[in-house]
């Protein structure tokens, strides 16, 4: 991949933002390879993601950050500069369903996902051989029904020990406790097998079948303390009809789930997701 620095920011909207940022990049010798902006009229909020060829700058990244700080303060920005050469460290979590985990491991192995998958954590042993086939650490951490906190304490320890930048729930069928949600805000990514906000919670295909839906879907979102209500990153749908049983919905839905999760994770890895409140702007 081309080595770039990603300048990602959001702030109250006003005139002159793009001009001031662009002028600094130009004066620093920067060559912009990609630029995305969005102005949200309802909230009067501005979002931007700019990629600059790293080798084009006539200052170091640290020097550029120092030069950018006055602009960030002037416009009251939430901002970060990300080096594309530094791979994000990802922990995958899974229960018994294989399709999302297998898909992510294959995409990672084929270099489609630019990250470092550091380990897989599961509350079952079932996925060990699949994970270790790819040379990735596997940790079986049981979540006991009567004392879940012990298991989640170990999950938290492992995530910390691997210095994870993102945690992906690839059909991990346990509710993440509030403390972990807060600690890793906008870093825990979940795939929910329905088109949220419809059919929140358990057994969404059963809920959809009882409702007689004609579309089923999947939603990739950040995990928050409110079950299945976190900021949405990616979604997609598939048409079904009255002749499809619950088992058919689940079978058909698996393809949507793994595709949506992969797209959502890729957007996160490439710093294309900007969270504002409980909503997101996702740049292509």
So which residues are the catalytic ones?
228
Contacts of 26 by beta carbon, 8 Å cutoff, 6+ apart = none
92 — phi, psi (to 5°)? -100, 140
The CA radius of gyration of the chain, in Å to the nearest whole number, is 21
Residue 192 to residue 12: CA distance in whole angstroms: 32
User: Is residue 202 within 8 Å of 214, Cβ to Cβ?
Assistant: no
CA-to-CA separations, 180 to 49, 152, 183, 187, 275, in angstroms, rounded? 28, 8, 5, 10, 18
Neighbours of 63 (CB within 10 A): 12
Contacts of 241 by beta carbon, 8 Å cutoff, 6+ apart = 214
């Amino acid at each position: 991949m081309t080595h770039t620095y990603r300048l990602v920011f959001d702030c109250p909207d006003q005139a002159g933002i793009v001009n001031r940022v662009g002028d600094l990049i130009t004066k620093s010798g920067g060559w912009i390879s990609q630029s995305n902006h969005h102005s949200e009229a309802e909230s009067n909020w501005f979002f931007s993601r700019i990629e600059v060829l790293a080798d084009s700058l006539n200052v170091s990244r640290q020097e550029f950050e120092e030069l950018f700080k006055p602009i960030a303060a002037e416009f009251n920005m939430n901002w970060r500069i990300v080096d594309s050469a530094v791979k994000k460290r990802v922990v995958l979590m899974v229960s018994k369903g294989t399709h999302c985990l297998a898909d992510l491991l294959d995409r990672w192995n084929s270099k489609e996902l630019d990250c470092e998958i550091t380990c897989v954590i599961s509350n079952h042993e079932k996925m060990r051989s699949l994970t270790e086939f790819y040379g990735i650490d596997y940790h079986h951490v049981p979540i006991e029904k009567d004392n879940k906190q012990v298991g989640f304490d170990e999950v938290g320890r492992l995530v910390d020990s691997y210095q994870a930048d993102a945690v992906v729930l690839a059909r991990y069928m346990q509710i993440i406790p509030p403390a972990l949600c807060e600690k890793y805000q906008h870093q825990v990514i979940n795939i929910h097998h329905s088109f949220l906000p419809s059919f929140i919670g358990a057994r969404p295909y059963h809920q959809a079948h009882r409702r007689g839906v004609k579309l089923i879907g999947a939603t990739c979102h950040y995990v928050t303390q409110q079950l299945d209500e976190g900021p949405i990153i990616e979604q997609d749908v598939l048409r079904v009809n009255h002749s499809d049983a619950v088992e058919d919905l689940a079978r058909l839905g698996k393809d949507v789930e793994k595709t949506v999760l992969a797209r959502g994770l890729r957007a996160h890895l490439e710093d294309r997701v900007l969270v504002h409140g409980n909503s997101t702007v996702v740049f292509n």
